[in-house]
Amino acid sequence: MIKATELSKKYGGNTVLNIASLEIPKGQTFGLVGNNGAGKTTFFNLLLDLIKPTTGVILNNEIQVNISEDWKPFTAAFIDESFLIGYLTPEEYFYFIGELRGMNKADIDTFLTQFSEIFNDEIIGKKKYLRDLSKGNQKKAGIVAALIGNPEVIILDEPFANLDPTTQIRLKKLLSYLTKDSNSTVLISSHDLGHVTEVCERIVVLDKGDIVKDLKTSAETLAELETYFSV
């Protein structure tokens, strides 16, 4: 589904990402971990054509993302609050995204009912602009908006950050459903090793832009990651 070849990004003389080869098959829950500055968000930004690669290519369903926009209809993402439109209410934002995905207001209203536990009566019907919500509630709105239209590829940068423990648990269940039942390809970056090992069937570790581990998740994965990052 996703393939990166000889992919690099440099700023001045500093290489922030250097991936010789990486393939993520359709339907996989893929986790990306690493310390600050490891290159996780850079990789996602390249995948979304928000920045241009210094070398190499990245393909999404055989489409080179920095040449064609044909990948956009089946790809969704939430990286940070800059993806939101701050002067809209959550409902207005969801309707806007739904329209882009070919869904009407009734479709969106029906779609949103399944997220009542995650919203926890703090987002819908509150007559607040997105910019006035807490960081956690902005994150909830952004993640749910990324799921509108059943995208084939979903990219989430630090989805568990700023969420309360109850919402983190509910989000983990939701992410598991996305791959098991809808066969979406889900890419997640996270600093939380526990959450990412619970959710992802495969985990890649980045260190200063390089892939240093590529693990199929097992009962030993969390301990292996904790040992790696404690050295």
pLDDT of residue 173: 83
Percent of the chain with pLDDT over 70: 98
Report which of 199, 204, 206, 225 is spatially closest to residue 216, judged by C-alpha positions: 204
Angle at 193 between CA 188 and CA 194, to 5 degrees: 105
Which phi and psi angles does 226 have, rounded to 5°?
-65, -40
pLDDT in tens, 185-206: 999 999 999 999 999 999 999 9
Summarize the confidence of residues 161-188 as an average pLDDT. Answer: 84
Place of tokens 């992410």: 175
Q: Whole-model pTM? A: 0.93
CATH of segment(s) 2-230: 3.40.50.300
Closest to 151 (Cα-Cα) out of 60, 62, 63, 74: 74
**Per-residue pLDDT, 120:** 87
Half-sphere exposure of 39 (CA within 13 A, CB side): 24
Q: Are 210 and 227 in contact (CB under 8 A)?
A: no
pLDDT above 70 (res 4): yes
pLDDT of residue 208: 94
Q: Compute the chain's Rg from CA coordinates.
A: 18
User: How far are the Cα atoms of 17, 22, 49, 56, 152 from residue 4, in angstroms, in the given order?
Assistant: 12, 5, 13, 8, 18
Tens digits of residue pLDDT in 57-115: 999 999 999 999 999 999 999 999 999 999 999 999 999 999 999 999 999 999 999 89
